[in-house]
């Protein structure tokens, strides 16, 4: 059983250091392990020019297809922080999900990617000065999302605009 786990390959999501997805890919490739780093080409505006740049589709993530021994080796690389896990166990991504993502990105470059919390969703702030605060996501008349911390008894809310990456969904 243990030997079988060491040889069977699965897809895993590896969490990288900020802006280190390409470095992580090079380090994984140097180990001879299959990886997938979905990218997108976007136009960036600087003060003096515009430029097409390739950036990761999912910031701070790279996918690896490896066995347990390879995964344990990869997680030691400088650009890798950890394996994405659930309840302390590395989360396996089904092959079909990676394949579907590849096929979709090969066939079109017109898509929207959203990691924004949904309207009405209860969230917890995980970064910044409001870390630990729990609130609800709302949308104003300009369709901008914001976090409201409400004292229900008083029917009053404190409203804060926060980047989506600073909050996480609270599971029920």
Q: What is the pTM of this model?
A: 0.65
Domain boundaries, the chain: 2-107, 122-169
Structure confidence at residue 151 as a pLDDT band (50, 70, 90): very low
Question: What pLDDT digit, counting tens, does each position of 123-138 carry?
Answer: 777 777 677 777 777 7
CATH architecture of 122-169: Roll (2.30)
Is residue 137 a contact partner of residue 119, using CB atoms and an 8 Å limit? yes
Question: What pLDDT digit, counting tens, does each position of 78-126 carry?
Answer: 999 999 988 889 999 989 888 888 888 887 666 655 555 667 777 777 7
In degrees, rounded to 5, the angle at the alpha carbon of residue 8 between the alpha carbons of residues 6 and 12 is 95
In degrees, rounded to 5, the angle at the alpha carbon of residue 140 between the alpha carbons of residues 161 and 149 is 50
Domains 2-107 and 122-169 share a fold: no
> What is the topology classification, in CATH, of domain 2-107?
Alpha-Beta Plaits (3.30.70)
């Amino acid at each position: 059983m243990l030997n079988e786990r060491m040889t069977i390959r699965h897809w895993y999501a590896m969490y990288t250091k900020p802006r280190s997805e390409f470095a992580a890919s090079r380090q994984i490739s140097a180990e001879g392990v299959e990886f997938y780093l979905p990218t997108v080409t976007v136009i960036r505006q600087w003060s003096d020019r515009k430029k097409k740049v390739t950036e990761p589709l999912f910031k701070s993530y790279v996918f690896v297809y490896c066995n347990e021994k390879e995964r344990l080796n990869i997680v030691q690389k400088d650009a890798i922080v950890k394996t994405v896990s659930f309840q302390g166990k590395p989360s396996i991504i089904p092959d079909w999900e990676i394949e579907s993502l590849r096929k979709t990105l090969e066939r079109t470059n017109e898509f929207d990617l959203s990691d924004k919390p949904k309207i009405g969703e209860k969230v917890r702030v995980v970064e910044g000065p409001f870390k630990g605060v729990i609130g609800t996501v709302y949308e104003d008349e300009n369709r901008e999302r914001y976090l409201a911390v409400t004292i229900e008894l008083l029917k009053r809310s404190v409203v804060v605009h926060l980047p989506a990456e600073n909050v996480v969904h609270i599971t029920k």
